[in-house]
């Protein structure tokens, strides 16, 4: 993974929601990484899911109606 790629992050209200989202994304074969919520975003001190910008729609569709996503935003 190159650092020049642009990323999005999915933020969740709870750690368990992030873990649940992880399962669905894994099943879809989407490349992602669990990271601490970046300092400049942080609404709490939790973890979030980072993925490549090109995967945005796929992530949205995968999680729709399955996981409570607080926000999906550029990193």
Residues that bind another protein (CB under 8 A): 1, 15, 18-19, 33-36, 39-40, 42-45, 47
**For the purposes of burial, counting CB atoms within 10 Å of the CB of 48, is it exposed (0-12), middle (13-18) or buried (19 or more)?**
buried
Q: Please state the closest distance from residue 18 (CB atom) to another protein, in A.
A: 7
Q: Please state the closest distance from residue 48 (CB atom) to another protein, in A.
A: 9
Closest CB to another protein among residues 31, 54: 31
Residue 25, CA distances (Å) to 38, 44, 68 in order? 20, 23, 14
Q: Please state the closest distance from residue 69 (CB atom) to another protein, in A.
A: 17
Beta bridge partners of 11: 71
């Amino acid at each position: 993974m190159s650092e020049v790629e642009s990323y999005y992050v999915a933020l969740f209200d709870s750690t368990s929601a992030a873990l649940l989202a992880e399962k669905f994304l894994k099943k879809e074969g989407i490349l992602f990484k669990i990271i601490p919520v970046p300092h400049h975003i942080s609404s709490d001190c939790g973890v979030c899911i980072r993925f490549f910008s090109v995967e945005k729609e796929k992530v949205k569709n995968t999680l729709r109606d399955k996981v409570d996503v607080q926000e999906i935003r550029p990193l």
